[in-house]
Structures are given as structure tokens and as C-alpha cells.
Structure 1
């Protein structure tokens, strides 16, 4: 068996492969993707593929993997993988849900608070020796405690964010494909339509998956519904937001600020207009970037591949239809 690993990881995590006598081809960069031409060539020889959310596995690339028996991504999302082709070829696709819930919820709430209280701006002022001294309204931000949070997408991460918000005595509104009645009773959350959520919330947190239905879910009309004092947070997928609409909303002060961890194109292009906005806090897609979490994600990805190569069901399968074939 030969496994292709598209990002460099410590060899110790790959020991389950070596113990079985399997061969590993691993890209030598940890922070930069394998070039498409090399990926197309290498995948032709691979029985298993260890991938991640930054690899666009379209129809052409997956179809080139004639020997592929399993694909597993080190991510909770798999919208970068052309699932219909994998199903057609009978290739199970593994992913890593659940394990990154708390880490991503921590980052979401940290981004919310940092944006609200202008934490990064303050740190930069001190570091760059631009601190003029105390002033009555110097670097004032928005209150968090007791303010209303609106969560779009009440899945595992949305629920974890809601639990953190409850500790800050924040009224919780949510919009989801399905009502979560048990959470309404437990956390006092209120299910509302999207328009009502946007108009009533002081913090709008987007945690919806990337689907055809959620593409540009947040656009001009949606941002116009928000309060001028409101803050928008996105830790879901960049495709869920019309970025030019968000740029205009921030530039024209239709909303107070925004905090982002994800973008339509990653890494963010050098000439992207977002870089001009002083009221936008941007992070480099680090939602699950916690040591324990990333280690757990690697181990699940490896286990998924080991199971797939010996014909066993994966721990987590994005396309269970392959088992029905």
C-alpha cells in the first residue's frame, strides 16, 4: 500500500502506516500546498490519501487516483472534495468531526471579544510606541456581557459557543435548519428567522456549513438588517459571505466591526480590500489550531486511512453511500 500525505506532519504520527509495511510519500512543506501538477501525478500511485481543507480535490484530481481506496481529510468540513466522484468510484471519504468543537468555540468567542474590545489594536499601539496615554474614550469598544448574540448554525460548534455566551449572561438567538428544542430549554436559546436574528443581535456569529444553500448567505441585504453597533463574526467558511458586501458594510459603517477567521480565497490575496479596513480583525484560519486538537485530528485521519485500506468502515465517513453500493 502507498499513502500520499499532502502536508508535512511529524513522522511519529505516521507510525501506524510504517508498522504495517506501507509506503508513504509526503509533501515536504507544512504551510504550503502541494502543487496541482505534482498532486495529479502522485495521486496516480496512491492507495490512500491524507489530505486537508486547503487541497482542492476536484473531479479531475480524484478521477486520477485510479488505485485510491480511501481519502481522509484532517478537517471537519469536506466541501473542497468532489464527493460525487468519490461515490462514483466507491472511495470512502473520512473527516474529523467533534474533536475540534471546543477549540473552535474557544477561538470563536476569543475573536468576538477581541473584536468588541479592540484587543489587537490596543496591543499594537503599545508595541509600536504609539500609546498617547489614558483618555476618556480612547480605544473604547462594545460591551459583551449581557448583550444579545445571534448564532447562525446551531451544530456542535454553535452549541458550544452558546454555552460560553450563557456564562456572559447573553440572550441567545439562533437560526438553524432544524430547531434544537432541547437547547432552548437548557440554555434559554430562542429560535428565530434569519431576518429577526440579524435585526435584534448585537453579535452575529456565522457557524453554518458550506452548502449551495449557504453560499453568500450573508450579503448586502443581510448586513443592512444589522444594527449599526453590531459586530459580525465568521468562523465557518468564507464562501458563506459576500465579501464585497461585507467590505461595503464596514467601510460605510453600516455595522460597527467584524472578525474573520475564514475567507473565500486563502491565504488572503495581498491586494484584498479587507486589508484597508481598520474595523476588521482578521485571523489566518486557526479555528482548530490548538495542539491537543490538531494531534487528535491527525490520529483520526490516520485511523480512517488504516481502516479504509483494509476494507473496514471509517471512524467518520462523509459519504456513507459508498457502503450501500
Structure 2
């Protein structure tokens, strides 16, 4: 195939997929590889003239960055949490398609969520970091009643681990009922408030939408709420002010999350929400999906998504 236009592709992240290199070489597509996160001014300069973007790094495509790339047609993102790295509203306004890789990292994220829960409620994190009284008794996950907010691919994989590996009673709240999952795993659908009042631990796995932004707030995290909150969702599903209030009052014993309200993860002194300075909060830097296995699957799917989009754009350019 010979294109009528030389496309420009930005690839970010440490790896450069062989399949993509071969495709671009064969089709005379120019590649600019961002191996590390550049300063904003350099990022704006390098995206100028870009037609496509494979996002596997930690840089944020803000409205200002997107403005610097008026010919950008699509961003193929490795993972599902594109909203943490791409201004989705700005992309929509500029007709930039944002493609994700749903489902391929669900096992990796679910496994990581269990690790976060164990680290939090068995006080592994606190002990390793010397926070508080390390002799304080911890809380077992096994046999407890837990909640899953969002029973998509990741939530279902998590429920499977919790029921099969830890004999937990799993309640869930999701946009739609999942009778097949209920029958397979014995999980129970409840409303949002019941999820938070009945469970010792609540896992937040819901996708970020206008409806779920700030969904978990003061009403869910008050005195009658859970002891522990574990989130692998976009942090903005949980209201940060309500979370801080619940932790400082003791209504919530601890919270842990993968990813934070600002990326990259700030040092505690620069955290505008005041959460990272608390002894009861632990955050990882958006690494739940970053197992070698999941990364390979995400990369393959993201490249396939990208190539499909390039093919469509090439066909349109020939008309």
C-alpha cells in the first residue's frame, strides 16, 4: 500500500512495538518516539503536525497540547483509564478519537487490587513505612463481606478472586445487573448506600463518567460506611474532600488507590488535597495494569486499534 500522504505518528513509552515499526516502514509513516516524559513546551512542539498518537507513557495530553496538534486524528491508549492522561472533553471537542484496550488488563488490575487490600488492612504498608503503632491488630480479608463498585471486566475478575480465593461474601453495585455473574460467583446486587454500609472493605472499580464523578462522597464514607476503601478506578470517582474528612474523623480506617488526583504522584507536601500526608493513605503511581503479561496484551490491542484507524484515514484521504 502506498499512502497519498505521509502520516506522522507519535509513540510514547519505553517500548517500540516491532509490529508497528514494520507497518510504519512499509507504509512510509514517520515515527517520533517519546521514550520519556518531555517538558510541556517540548511536547507541544513534537506533537505539532502529528496525525496519530500511541500513548504508552506518563505524559498528559492537555487541551493546550491538543491545540498544538490540529491534524491529530486519534490517540490509541494502552489501558482503559485514558482520562487520567488525556483531556477527554478537549479531545471530543477537537474530534480526536481516543481508543482504549478494555478487558485485556482486568486480571492484572484485579490481582493488584487484592494486593492493595491486603497491604492496607493487614497493615503491611504501615509496618514497612514505620507508620503508627505496628503492633496494632490487623483485619483479615478472608471470610469478610466486601463490596465491588463497578462490575465490569475488572470488577468481575476481582469478584472471582475474592469469592474463590478468600471465601468473601461479595456485594456489588453496577450500572446494570449481571445475572450471569451472580449465578456463577454467588455475588449479590445492592444499591449504592447498602454497598457502603454492609461491607468491611469496598473496592472501587467503576469507570469514570459524568455520572460517576464524585459518586463516592460524604454519604458513603461517613460513620456507617466501610472500614477500608481500595480504588483501582480513576481517583475522581471518589470525592477527595469527603475522603479526607472520613479519614481524619476515623470513620474510615484507611484508603489505598492506584493512581492519584494529579499525575504524576506528588510528594505529600505538594498534595493539594492533603491526603498523602495522612498515615492512613497509601497510593501507587498507576501501575496496577503494568504487569509484563498485561502490558503485552494492551500493546498488541492498542497497535491493532491504531493500525485500523490509520487504514481508515488513508482510505478517506484517497477519495
**Residue 15 (str. 1) matches residue 13 (str. 2):** no
Asked whether the equivalents of residues 101 and 302 of structure 2 are also in contact (C-alpha less than 8 Å), the reply is: yes
Q: For the residues of structure 2 that align with 1:181 and 1:312, how far apart are their CA atoms?
A: 40
TM-superposition CA deviations, 1:236-292 (whole Å, max 9, x none) = 011111223212211221112111112111223321222332222222211101012
**Residue 193 (str. 1) matches residue 191 (str. 2):** yes
121, 124, 137: which is aligned to 1:119?
A: 124
251, 259, 262: which is aligned to 1:262?
A: 259
**Residue 26 (str. 1) matches residue 33 (str. 2):** yes
Which residue of 2 is the match for residue 318 of structure 1?
A: none
Which residue of 2 is the match for residue 175 of structure 1?
A: 173
**Any residues of structure 2 matched to 1:1-325 within 5 Å, and which?**
1-10=7-16, 12=18, 14-16=20-22, 17-29=24-36, 33-52=37-56, 54-79=58-83, 80-83=85-88, 91-124=96-129, 138-167=135-164, 168-224=166-222, 226-227=224-225, 230-270=227-267, 271=269, 272=271, 273-311=274-312
Q: 1:86 and 1:250, CA in 2 relative to 1: closer, same or farther beyond 3 A?
A: closer
Aligned residues: 302
Note the C-alpha offset of 1:92: 3.7
Q: For the residues of structure 1 that align with 2:68 and 2:284, how far apart are their CA atoms?
A: 34
After TM superposition, the structure 1 stretch with the greater mean CA deviation from structure 2, 77-86 or 159-168, is 77-86
| Local SS of the residue matching 1:183 | helix
TM-superposition CA deviations, 1:149-178 (whole Å, max 9, x none) = 111111110001100110211111111111
Q: TM-score, normalised by structure 1?
A: 0.83
Asked whether the equivalents of residues 9 and 53 of structure 2 are also in contact (C-alpha less than 8 Å), the reply is: yes
Q: For the residues of structure 1 that align with 2:140 and 2:162, how far apart are their CA atoms?
A: 13
| Local SS of the residue matching 2:79 | coil
Which residue of 1 is the match for residue 317 of structure 2?
A: none
Asked whether the equivalents of residues 109 and 154 of structure 2 are also in contact (C-alpha less than 8 Å), the reply is: yes
Q: For the residues of structure 1 that align with 2:258 and 2:49, how far apart are their CA atoms?
A: 35
Stretches of structure 1 that go unaligned for 5 or more consecutive residues are: 132-136, 314-325
After TM superposition, the structure 1 stretch with the greater mean CA deviation from structure 2, 247-256 or 74-83, is 74-83
After TM superposition, the structure 1 stretch with the greater mean CA deviation from structure 2, 53-62 or 98-107, is 53-62
After TM superposition, the structure 1 stretch with the greater mean CA deviation from structure 2, 264-273 or 14-23, is 14-23
RMSD, aligned α-carbons: 2.9
| Local SS of the residue matching 1:198 | helix
Q: 1:81 and 1:281, CA in 2 relative to 1: closer, same or farther beyond 3 A?
A: closer
Q: TM-score, normalised by structure 2?
A: 0.84
Asked whether the equivalents of residues 7 and 34 of structure 1 are also in contact (C-alpha less than 8 Å), the reply is: no
Q: For the residues of structure 2 that align with 1:221 and 1:13, how far apart are their CA atoms?
A: 49
Asked whether the equivalents of residues 6 and 34 of structure 1 are also in contact (C-alpha less than 8 Å), the reply is: no
Q: 1:105 and 1:213, CA in 2 relative to 1: closer, same or farther beyond 3 A?
A: same
Note the C-alpha offset of 1:212: 1.2
